[in-house]
Every structure is written in structure tokens, then in C-alpha cells.
Chains A and B, each alone.
Chain A
Amino acid sequence: MRKASRLSRFNIASLALGLAFLYLPILILVIYSFNASRLVTVWGGWSLRWYHEFFADRAMIEASWMSLRVAVASATIATLIGTLAAVALSRGERFRGRTLFSGMLYAPLVMPEVITGLSLLLLFVALNAERGFWTVTIAHTTLTMCFVAVVVQSRLGSLDRSLEEAAMDLGCAPVRAFLSVTLPLIAPAIVAGWMLAFTLSLDDLVIASFTTGPGSATLPIRIYSEVRLGVKPEINAICTLVIALIAVVIVIASLASKLSSSQGESAAPL
């Protein structure tokens, strides 16, 4: 156990400044979303005016709805496939093409989005697929399943192998041992993986821009085109709503993972 005395004044200062740097801009954004003034930077008192404008903006609402559907669908598929990938990597012995497999899983984590987006678009064009909900969903699944795989794999890696052995010793066939012991123990990581996939999908601009079709813009695409034209108070309101939504998802998911496991220590996103 580290003692508090190891903290120097320098340590405390860098922590405080770092956290302030991370949080202040978001805080300012949230506060200004309640600004009554049309001028973004002049404080005109508290108001919900921009939230009303947002809910009256059909295009924005449609884009939000599209983004939510894509996020839920892609996060769910990505969690399923990504968990399978993590299991294969951490429990399967060497199999043919394993290096290629892990390479394909880790590369998208850092691959510039313009490349991923462009390459997927060219695939969809070659397949003559109609671009819209499903193409964006597939693209997001491809990206986010890698994050799910990493989160789940790191949890699987830190899991004591003798727990699975104990389950087999007590009469479980391998698959059964996985389902009754491993799965409940990695559940928090799977939940965290879903959350991460959900927020990454909700967040993505570049890949969605490439892979979506006319008339089915996602929320980030709409926000981006508005922002390019200048700051609008309505955007502050939308951003605050998105932040609130993500906060709710995080709280629900962390409560769920606390309930599902006494261990409390869910895997970190990275």
C-alpha cells in the first residue's frame, strides 16, 4: 500500500491542473448551453431556449435517432464478435493465421479513421450496397469490436486460470466451465466493452461520413456541418444532451457491473 506521503506538491499540482484541463472546457460548454443570449459568448441569464430549438429541429432529431440506432446496433454486434475474438486470442492455442488475426484486431485501434472510412466505402461501392443505416453500422462494428476485444482480452488475461480448472475439476465440460465461471467474471468487462463501443459509434464523424448515404446523416455529421458554419448556441444544447446520455449510460452500466460481480473492478477501457 502506497502511503499518501509519497505525494509531493508537484504531484498534486500536476494532477489538479491536468484534471482541470480535461474538465473545464466541457463544463463551460454545458453552462453555456443554458445561456439565454443568442450571442454564444455573452451571458444572458439561464434559459432552456436552445433545447427547445433543438427539439424543434427535425433534421437534428432525425440525425440523433439515426445515430442512436447505429450505436445500439453496432455496439451489440461488436460486443458479441469482439468477445468471441478475445476468447479466441486468450484461450485458443496457436492456430493458423493467428498473427494475422491479432494484427487485424489491433491495427484499427490506431489506424487513422480516414483510411478505415475510405477503404470501407470502396468495399461498399464495389459490392453495390445501398449506403445508409447498415453500411454505417457495419463500419462502426468493424472499428469498435477491436476495442471490445482489447477490453475483454485484458480482463481474461488477468483472470486466474485455476478458476476454470477448478470448474472442470468439479465436473464442468470446457464450454460449460466457460459459461458458468469465466463469463460471469468477465461480464463487467463485456459491459464496459459495450459502453465503449456505444460511445465510440455515437462519437464517430469520419467513418460515418464516408460510409453513409445521402439523406441518412448521423448526429456528428450534422453537428460538424453546423460547426463549420460557426458556433451556434443550439449545438451547445445538443452536446450537453449527448454528454448527459453518455453519463447515464456510464452510470447504469457501472451499477449493472457492480451488481453482477462482487469484484467491482471492471476493466479499464484501454
Chain B
Amino acid sequence: MTDELPGTDVAGRDARPAAGEPLLRIEGVAKTFGTFRAVDGVSLEIKAGEFFALLGPSGCGKTTLLRMLAGFEAPDEGRMLLGGKDIAQALPHERPINMMFQNYALFPHLSVRDNIAFGLKRAGMARADIATRVAEMVALVKLEGLEKRKPDQLSGGQRQRVALARALARRPQLLLLDEPLAALDKKLRENTQGELMELQRRLGMTFIIVTHDQEEAMTMASRIGVMKSGKLAQVGTPRELYEAPRSRWIAEFVGDINLFDAESKLRDGHRLVIGTRDAGALVVAEPREAVGEGKFSVAIRPEKVKLSRRGPVSAAGHETAINLLDGVIADICYLGGTTTYKVKLDTGGMLQASVANSARLDVDAYSLNQHVVAWFTPDDCVVLPS
């Protein structure tokens, strides 16, 4: 059985799809636990060399999908093609896929070296080759000098590196990472994110990471699949997800957003004038997909909203900044790099604006109850079906 599968050859002599070629095709995969449909008809294509993130709230099915790829769960429906061969029913040890576990799952009775060599021994590699590969891996994750330690003698960050080295040692066609940074503290997590990206680029390997942290997914991944209730809600680059979310749910899940429910709409050339209850009439650029008959809302990211004491200064600003909303500052949240203001609009709604603190001395800062004009361009607005 092993022979039929692509790329179980640990030495890496096999023909692998070149970067950019499709590597993994998931077709209509579904998995039910009892009556709970954990994964519900997911189809997805991942190209060789991609850094793909599965993002979603807990219980959305992202971990189940990952475990199906690793072979710990078998899908009830659908196919999973790796390099053209269906691996859906193959056992974990028969797949050219390795996984980095959330809690690392380092073997506590084995040293760092033996942990890394574990998979190589199973592949029947020669002793000398194993030693070379282990040394290579140890250098790759910068663990020199710790080879003889046992996992309980390592720090959290070091353990994470061992887990990574162990999973990479077999040179899998696909590396799965299950919340790989969840156990690290914030500073270490940020450093490790950079290192993981660097490593992935250097090795040209395909990574699939599961995370619930949208910032982490945006930072690291070249493409993100957002999952909700077992389904893929949207797949796209981080920018696409952030700037052109396909639904209200995604817009709210990825980053902060202001949403105004629409009550009416009027065409005006290339623009739509949309009447909202909370923010009055808003002018928005015509969306690429026509707005249907159903309910919809207008969305603006807080950092796209500008504030000023008397409205935009320049005339040019006036011409494009067609959405002008009066209000008073109701809440101020200082975050260091930025400050988030909550503006109580005269029309009744609440608008969030995120302003960069570009100067150390806060001569420009607004104070509570101050009257301000908030403005944004039609192009910054997104129309979303509710």
C-alpha cells in the first residue's frame, strides 16, 4: 500500500509537484460525529509551496479537517487527492504528510535527537543518513547542544522547535500545524511566526496551519480559508478577506468593522446611495456583484474612517469624501500605536474610528464629548448581504 502513495520516500527523491502546481485537492469532504456534522462538504485546492491557514472559531471543524488530512479521522464522504491519488482512507503512517501537534506530543521518554530521528527510523533510513538528517534539522531549528535533553528539560519555545524539526525531518509533501503557537506567550509567538514563515519559504514546503487567531493567520498565511459550522465561508488572500469580505459574518470575524443596516437604495451613476437608519444616507461605490433583493448592510473598517474638528480641509477631500457624519466623541480607547474613538452620531448610530498616533505629543487628540466630523470615501465602504 505504501508504494502506491506519492512521496512516502523520505529521502525526497520523488517527483513532487513544482511550486504553484496543485498539490492537494479536497472534494466534498464531510465528517459526522454522532449527529454533529463537524465538517460539511468542504472543497478546497491547495498549491505546492503555499502557506495556507484554516481559520475559524472553536468548533468550526477546522481541526477535524486537519485530522482527516493527517489520517486520524476518515471522512464519511468526499475525496482527498494528494498529487492526484486519493488518500482519504489511508492510515496515518502511510501518508507523506506530517503534523505538528498542538501540545507538541513530544515523546517524553526519548531525547531531542531520538524524537527527531523517530520518523526516519520508521522509514528505514540508514543510520548514517539519519544522523546527518537529524543534525541538519537541529541546525535548522537552532537547537544545537540540546540533542541529548529530554522534552521535560526544555522550555516551551524549545519544545515547539523540536516538534517542528520532528515533523519536518521526513520531508513531508505537506506539513500540518495544529495551533502551533497557542502555547507560547505573545512576544515569543510573534518571533516564531516570522521564523516559521522564513522556514517555509526557504524549504519551499507546503504548510497548512489551523488557528483561531485571525491576526496570526493574516500575518503568516498566503491564503486563508475561513470556516464556519463545518463549511468554508470564504477562501482568499488576507487582503481579500479583510477588504472584500463576502459576508457580514466574515467581516465581523476578521478584524473590527462598523456595520449599518440598509433600509433603501438609489442608483446614482457608478454609485449607490443607501439609506440607513443609524447613519443616514451613505454613498458607496457600486459593488462588483449586484446587490440582491435581500437585506444588506454597509460596512466600513474603523481605520478607513477619518475624524476632524470641522470636516475635511481640502476641497479635493470634499469632492471624494462624500460621506460626512456629525457626532460627538463617546468613548476613547488608547492602544499605543492607535487610538480607537467611538463617535455617537447625530443620526443615532455609533461609529468606530481608529486613528494612528503618529505624533508623541497628543495635540491632535480628541477629548470626550468633543464635537467631530467623521468622513470616509465611497470606495472604503463595502456592501454586504446580511
Q: Which residues of A contact B (CB under 8 A)?
A: 160, 162-163, 165-174, 176-177, 180-181, 184-185, 260-263
Q: Is there contact, CB below 8 Å, between A262 and B150?
A: yes
12 contacts between A and B (CB under 8 A): A162-B101, A165-B101, A166-B106, A166-B166, A168-B72, A169-B92, A169-B93, A169-B97, A169-B98, A169-B99, A172-B122, A180-B118
Q: How far is the CA of A79 from the CA of B72 in the complex (A)?
A: 30
A262 pairs with B109, CB closer than 8 A: yes
A262 to B151, CA, bound (A): 10
Q: Which residues of B contact A263 (CB under 8 A)?
A: 108-109, 152
Contact flag A163-B152 (CB < 8 Å), given A168-B93, A170-B118, A171-B119 = no
A162, A171, A260: the one contacting B122 at CB < 8 Å is: A171
Asked if A167 and B118 sit within 8 Å, CB to CB, the answer is yes
A176 / chain B contacts, CB cutoff of 8 Å: 93, 122
**Minimum Cβ distance to chain B for residue A12 (Å):** 31
Q: In the complex the two chains form, what is the Cα distance from A176 to B118 in whole Å?
A: 12
Q: Which of A163, A169, A261 contacts B70 (CB 8 A)?
A: A169
Cα distance, A124 to B244, chains bound together (Å): 80
| Contact between A168 and B105, CB atoms less than 8 A apart | no
CA A174 to CA B93, docked complex, whole Å: 9
Q: Which residue of B lies closest to A184 (CB)?
A: B109
Q: Which residues of B lie under 8 Å from residue A169 when comparing CB positions?
A: 70-71, 92-93, 97-99, 119, 167
Whether a CB of chain A sits under 8 angstroms from the CB of B103 is yes
- Which residues of the partner chain A approach B152 to less than 8 Å between Cβ atoms? 262-263
Q: How far is the CB of B20 from chain A (nearest CB, A)?
A: 27
> Contacts A166-B166, A173-B91 given; 8 further ones with Cβ under 8 A?
A165-B72, A169-B70, A169-B71, A169-B98, A174-B91, A260-B109, A262-B108, A263-B109
Which residues of B in the span 111-153 have a Cβ within 8 Å of any Cβ on A? 118-119, 122-123, 150, 152
Interface residues on B, range: 20 to 34
Q: Closest 4 CB pairs between A and B?
A: A171-B122, A170-B119, A168-B92, A166-B105
Of A160, A162, A176, A263, most buried by chain B (CB within 10 Å of CB) is: A162
Docked pose: A169 CA to B98 CA in angstroms: 6
Binding site for A on B (CB under 8 A): 70-72, 91-93, 97-99, 101-103, 105-109, 118-119, 122-123, 150, 152, 166-167, 170
Cα(A169)–Cα(B107), bound, Å? 13
Give the Cβ gap from B192 to chain A, nearest Cβ, in Å. 20
Inside 8 A of A261's CB, which chain B residues have their CB? Answer: 108-109
**Residue of B with least CB distance to A183:** B109
For A161, the closest partner residue in chain B by CB is: B105
**Distance, CA A170 to CA B109, complexed state (A):** 16
Tell me the minimal C-beta distance from B168 to chain A in angstroms. 11
Q: Hey, which chain A residues are within 8 Å of B105, CB to CB?
A: 160, 162-163, 165-166
Alpha-carbon distance between A165 and B266 when the two chains are bound, in angstroms: 58
- Give A171's nearest chain B residue, CB to CB: B122
Task: Point out the residues of chain A lying under 8 angstroms from B107, CB to CB.
Answer: 163, 166-167, 181, 185
Tell me, rounded to whole Å, the shortest Cβ–Cβ distance linking A186 to chain B. 10
Picked from B72, B98, B150, the residue with its CB within 8 Å of the CB of A170 is B98
Q: Enumerate chain A residues within 8 angstroms of B122, measured Cβ to Cβ.
A: 170-172, 176
* Interchain CA distance A263-B167 in the complex, whole Å: 23
Q: Which residue of A lies closest to B103 (CB)?
A: A162
Q: Output the least CB separation between B368 and chain A (Å).
A: 44
Considering the chains assembled together, what is the distance between the CA atoms of A247 and B70 in angstroms? 48
The docked-state distance in angstroms from the alpha carbon of A160 to that of B163 is: 15
- Cα distance A173–B119 when bound, in Å? 12
Once bound together, how far apart are the Cα atoms of A171 and B152, in whole Å? 24
A160 cross-chain contacts in B, Cβ below 8 A: 103, 105
